[in-house]
Chains A and B, each alone.
With several copies, the nearest count.
Chain A
Amino acid sequence: MTVAWKLPEMVTEEKLIELYHQMWVIRFFDEKVDEFFAKGMIHGTTHLCVGQEATAAGVGALLTKEDKITGTHRGHGQCIAKGAEASRMMAELFGRATGYCKGKGGSMHIADLETGNLGANGIVGGGIPIAVGAALTSKMKNLGYVTVSYFGDGASNEGSFHEAVNMASIWNLPVIFFCENNQYGMSGPVKEMVNIENIADRAVGYGIPGVVVDGNNIFDVMLATEEAVNRAKRGEGPTLIEAKTYRYKGHSKSDGKKYRTREEEMDWRKNRDCIQFLEKALIEKGLITVEKARELEADAKKVIEDAVEFALNSPHPSMDTLEEDVYA
């Protein structure tokens, strides 16, 4: 990993420090979820993005509130980076009335339309065509926003990916297809599930740019996203970005991780951690001190502790609301 130390226009050095903080928030959020899940305090299922924080944060840094995203099942980071509050997210995971979905959606369905988050998705590949529709609105109504569709390496094998990217391409829509390639789709190693080096190579089949970035290097992520956003806003159509990254945790609950080696995991954890990477860069550049880094880290932890407190102190939804919200 090398630091280009080039920042997108939109991203000031101050903002970069915020992003560093945000990455800690994301990590602590998911580690907390992991903990509560193990304790049986959160039920259902959940998919953690620990280790992948730079993709969400890096993309989010380039988006305004007007811009939209469609997320994935592994979407907590995506939500936070798009502006969701950890407290209301945590409340949702605890099934509380104050949660983003009033306790009806849970981890896989957090949506926050006000910040442009059109929803995480429990269906692999499900959000990709939806993003195309959101981009279509932007174009038809001349609203100027871009839409980012996050999806995984595994999702790139769903027909929905193919149909959606093709449609966006022929219509020149302002959408970015952002693939978080964390090497596995559940237990399926991307190396065995596709016969190509990069998911981004699929861009050729649609006549759009395909870019591979180091997903653990937030600078790379941001620069590629910036270019794609600009391209979209210029009316030149979609871009497919593939960010190579890794999830530290198992796919979801009760994953023995038999499909990968401990060494591989430790290599990513020790040598390629995206937070450490940014921290080192910030310190080397003199933007923060080691102490400041610890302070920011501690603050992020506090954010999550507060979120937990908020969640646990929130009321459960009234059972009277059970049959509400089906129709508008």
Chain B
Amino acid sequence: MREITYLEAVREAMSQEMRINEDVFIMGEDIGVYGGAFGVTRGMIEEFGPERVRITPISEAAIAGASVGAAMTGMRPIMELQFSDFITIAMDQLVNQAAKNRYMFGGKGKVPMVVRTPSGSGTGAAAQHTQSLEAWVAHVPGLKVVQPSTAYDAKGLLKAAMDDDNPVVFYEHKLLYKASGEVPEEQYSIPLGVADVKREGTDVTIVATAIMVHKALEAAAELEKEGISVEVIDPRTLVPLDTETIIKSVKKTGKCIVVHEAVKFGGFGGEIASIIAESEAFDYLDAPIRRLGALWIPMPYHPEMEKAAIPQVPDIIQAVKDTVAFR
């Protein structure tokens, strides 16, 4: 199969959908000839024109709010939030409006919109441009939350997100944009709420999200050499969360490590770990569930510090070894 990048997969998912569905359009800052801050929409304004690839003022609250209003009245907007850190400005529209509308109105109306937004560190962009704040939105009933880790998943999950009749926050990891993989040319959909076992194993389960999936896989490859068999699960969507697949794996391995790039304290890892520990997997647990996440600091600019702020492959390897060695 042909290989394309994660970035191209995202673009292709949008473009293919826009070709067949007039209601889908995209709006955001600099998504026209500039192609968006990361080039995701490059070429789209040329194909779809400025009405459907709509450059906005620097007004995140209005972009989100206009998406809500457009979605409520029959369009299916995709909004590109230039950096996921700027969700701080769009938060009211996403949380108090998009997420709650339908319920508050007693089940009337729907808000089919996708918020596409790049997150994560590794670019040297410092504290205001590198956050992983998915835990916030994953705590809000009414929203769905997607975090693809591969080009294949990105395309299929974005299709599902665009098809969904609810507001979906779709996190793209900046460092994954250039990662390539096999991606079918035709449209396909990966249902929201279905985790993917990225690698099967028997000794330890690692639940990892976004870029940490790749680090976990690297760690697993290393650990295999030492005879430790690691299963790597990528939830792919935090809301809905495929707890079944995760719990099943932990019941099998009896050991679990949760890894995300977001700050560990208060991060979504706590939810995953707690769900496992609350489940029937509790009885199978041979060691505490360890969580790996970023340190309790804003993201530093210095490249070495930036790396040290978040879990790296050796940290994962160490955590697995500690867990395996437990008791």
Cβ of B34 and Cβ of A68 under 8 Å apart?
Answer: no
Cβ of A133 and Cβ of B34 under 8 Å apart?
Answer: no
**Cα A112 to Cα B141 with chains together (Å):** 22
Cβ of B125 and Cβ of A45 under 8 Å apart?
Answer: yes
The answer to whether the Cβ of A11 comes within 8 Å of any Cβ in the partner chain is: no
Within 8 A of A (CB), among B61-112: 61-75, 77, 85-86, 88-89, 92-93, 96-97, 101-112
A23-34 vs B, Cβ < 8 Å mask (1 yes, 0 no): 000000000000
The answer to whether the Cβ of A324 comes within 8 Å of any Cβ in the partner chain is: yes
The answer to whether the Cβ of A13 comes within 8 Å of any Cβ in the partner chain is: no
Stretch at the interface among B25-33, B205-213, B215-223: B25-33
Chain A residues whose C-beta falls within 8 Å of the C-beta of B86 in the assembled complex: 123
B66 to chain A: closest CB distance in Å? Answer: 4
Cβ of B106 and Cβ of A99 under 8 Å apart?
Answer: yes
Cβ of A95 and Cβ of B70 under 8 Å apart?
Answer: no
B32 to chain A: closest CB distance in Å? Answer: 7
Cβ of A109 and Cβ of B70 under 8 Å apart?
Answer: no
Cβ of B300 and Cβ of A103 under 8 Å apart?
Answer: yes
B237 to chain A: closest CB distance in Å? Answer: 13
A318 to chain B: closest CB distance in Å? Answer: 10
A118 to chain B: closest CB distance in Å? Answer: 6
Cβ of B108 and Cβ of A111 under 8 Å apart?
Answer: yes
Cβ of B92 and Cβ of A317 under 8 Å apart?
Answer: no
Cβ of A132 and Cβ of B106 under 8 Å apart?
Answer: no
If A129-B93, A157-B59, A326-B103 touch, whether A187 touches B30 (CB-CB below 8 Å) is: yes
**Cα A113 to Cα B30 with chains together (Å):** 33
Chain A residues whose C-beta falls within 8 Å of the C-beta of B321 in the assembled complex: none
The answer to whether the Cβ of A210 comes within 8 Å of any Cβ in the partner chain is: no
The answer to whether the Cβ of A314 comes within 8 Å of any Cβ in the partner chain is: no
Stretch at the interface among B50-58, B147-155, B241-249, B285-293: B50-58
Cβ of A132 and Cβ of B58 under 8 Å apart?
Answer: no
Q: Which residue of the partner chain A has the closest CB to B141?
A: A326
Q: 25 A–B contact pairs at CB < 8 A?
A: A44-B123, A101-B106, A105-B127, A105-B301, A108-B129, A113-B109, A119-B101, A121-B97, A121-B128, A122-B129, A129-B69, A133-B66, A133-B71, A133-B73, A136-B75, A137-B74, A158-B58, A159-B59, A160-B89, A188-B58, A319-B305, A322-B305, A327-B166, A328-B111, A328-B166
Q: How large is the interface on B (under 10, 10 to 19, 20 to 34, 35 or more residues)?
A: 35 or more
Cβ of B103 and Cβ of A103 under 8 Å apart?
Answer: no
Chain B residues whose C-beta falls within 8 Å of the C-beta of A316 in the assembled complex: 302, 304
**Cα A324 to Cα B302 with chains together (Å):** 14
**Cα A305 to Cα B101 with chains together (Å):** 30
**Cα A19 to Cα B170 with chains together (Å):** 47
Cβ of A185 and Cβ of B57 under 8 Å apart?
Answer: yes
Cβ of B34 and Cβ of A186 under 8 Å apart?
Answer: yes
Cβ of A130 and Cβ of B97 under 8 Å apart?
Answer: yes
The answer to whether the Cβ of B184 comes within 8 Å of any Cβ in the partner chain is: no
The answer to whether the Cβ of B303 comes within 8 Å of any Cβ in the partner chain is: yes
Chain A residues whose C-beta falls within 8 Å of the C-beta of B32 in the assembled complex: 187, 259
Q: Which among A101, A121, A141, A328 is the interface contact of B75 at CB below 8 angstroms?
A: A141
11 extra A-B contacts, CB within 8 A, seeds A103-B302, A160-B65: A121-B97, A126-B97, A130-B72, A132-B65, A134-B72, A137-B74, A160-B89, A323-B295, A326-B103, A326-B141, A327-B165
B24 to chain A: closest CB distance in Å? Answer: 11
The answer to whether the Cβ of B262 comes within 8 Å of any Cβ in the partner chain is: no
A319 to chain B: closest CB distance in Å? Answer: 6
**Cα A190 to Cα B220 with chains together (Å):** 51
The answer to whether the Cβ of B266 comes within 8 Å of any Cβ in the partner chain is: no
Cβ of A133 and Cβ of B70 under 8 Å apart?
Answer: yes
If A141-B75, A187-B32, A325-B102 touch, whether A124 touches B58 (CB-CB below 8 Å) is: yes
Q: A-B contact count, CB below 8 Å?
A: 269
The answer to whether the Cβ of A301 comes within 8 Å of any Cβ in the partner chain is: no
B23 to chain A: closest CB distance in Å? Answer: 8
The answer to whether the Cβ of A135 comes within 8 Å of any Cβ in the partner chain is: yes
The answer to whether the Cβ of A167 comes within 8 Å of any Cβ in the partner chain is: yes
Cβ of A166 and Cβ of B57 under 8 Å apart?
Answer: yes
Q: Please, how many residues of chain A have a CB less than 8 angstroms from a CB on the other chain? A: 75
The answer to whether the Cβ of B270 comes within 8 Å of any Cβ in the partner chain is: no
Q: Which among B59, B105, B127 is the interface contact of A167 at CB below 8 angstroms?
A: B59
Cβ of B72 and Cβ of A101 under 8 Å apart?
Answer: no
Chain B residues whose C-beta falls within 8 Å of the C-beta of A154 in the assembled complex: 57-58
B68 to chain A: closest CB distance in Å? Answer: 5
A174-204 vs B, Cβ < 8 Å mask (1 yes, 0 no): 0000000000011110001110000000000
Cβ of B68 and Cβ of A122 under 8 Å apart?
Answer: no
The answer to whether the Cβ of A43 comes within 8 Å of any Cβ in the partner chain is: yes
**Cα A101 to Cα B301 with chains together (Å):** 9
Centre residue among B56, B58, B127 by max chain A CB count within 10 A: B58
The answer to whether the Cβ of B124 comes within 8 Å of any Cβ in the partner chain is: yes
Cβ of B58 and Cβ of A327 under 8 Å apart?
Answer: no
A150 to chain B: closest CB distance in Å? Answer: 14
Chain B residues whose C-beta falls within 8 Å of the C-beta of A10 in the assembled complex: none
B122 to chain A: closest CB distance in Å? Answer: 10
Cβ of B55 and Cβ of A187 under 8 Å apart?
Answer: yes
**Cα A136 to Cα B69 with chains together (Å):** 8
Cβ of B58 and Cβ of A155 under 8 Å apart?
Answer: yes
Cβ of B62 and Cβ of A129 under 8 Å apart?
Answer: yes
If A113-B109, A140-B51 touch, whether A134 touches B141 (CB-CB below 8 Å) is: no
Chain A residues whose C-beta falls within 8 Å of the C-beta of B305 in the assembled complex: 103-104, 317, 319, 322
The answer to whether the Cβ of A244 comes within 8 Å of any Cβ in the partner chain is: no
The answer to whether the Cβ of B298 comes within 8 Å of any Cβ in the partner chain is: yes
Centre residue among A103, A140, A157 by max chain B CB count within 10 A: A140
The answer to whether the Cβ of B126 comes within 8 Å of any Cβ in the partner chain is: yes
Cβ of A324 and Cβ of B107 under 8 Å apart?
Answer: yes
